[in-house]
Amino acid sequence: MFQTGYSVKDAGYLPIPMEKQDDGTFKVTLPLPGTQYFYGFVEEGDMDNILKDQSNLPEKNGDSDCGWSTIYVGDKDNCLEGQEYIYPRTDKKVGTVEYVNYKAADGSEKPLGIYLPEGYDKNETYKTLYLSHGGGNEVEWMTIGSAKNIFDNLIAEGKLDKTIIVTMDN
């Protein structure tokens, strides 16, 4: 389990043993500070085979996903300092995320994630932010990186101009 934005162990992951229940499910009880977490399951410490939570699958773009399930603990009023903007909005002041492909210079098809702010109008001009990182993909910035939620919150509160975000698979 990894707390977004904070390393909880040198390797970046904190294995937490689970108790098998009589009905075959597993249970873990943890005191968690309010923030976003992403997680997966491993058997016998096999970090090369991370199992996804089938009841909380990661957002997908075709065969690509962020690799982790995501949960939110607390809310913007009850969270770790600096995490106020990662929570999804509960009103209708939210943008949309689309995943598309483009043709790269070498002729191959490459995926992009595109965040369009609430009220997007194709006839208007917007600032655009390109989010890129090594080793990640176009879905991670929108989910684990909370880019969509952060921009929804900042734009709705008038702290940021309406902005388009483009994420890519590097």
| Confidence band for 8, pLDDT divided at 50, 70 and 90 | very low
The set of residues, in sequence order, having a beta carbon less than 8 Å from that of 111 and lying 6+ positions away, is: 61, 62, 64, 99, 100, 101, 137, 138, 168, 169
Identify the domain containing residue 135 by its residue range: 96-168
Q: What is the average pLDDT score of the chain? A: 86
Would the pTM count as exceeding 0.85? no
Instruction: Report the share of the chain in percent with pLDDT over 70.
Output: 91
In a domain, 148, yes or no: yes
In a domain, 127, yes or no: yes
In a domain, 29, yes or no: no
Report how many domains make up the chain. 1
In a domain, 57, yes or no: no
pLDDT at residue number 12: 55
In a domain, 101, yes or no: yes
More confident residue, 8 or 115: 115
Phi and psi torsions of 34, nearest 5°: -65, 120
pLDDT in tens, 25-83: 888 877 778 888 888 887 777 777 778 889 998 888 888 888 888 889 888 998 888 88
In a domain, 126, yes or no: yes
Q: Are strands 19-20 and 96-103 parallel, antiparallel or unpaired?
A: unpaired
Question: Residue 151: helix, strand or coil by DSSP?
Answer: helix
Per-residue DSSP letter, 136: -
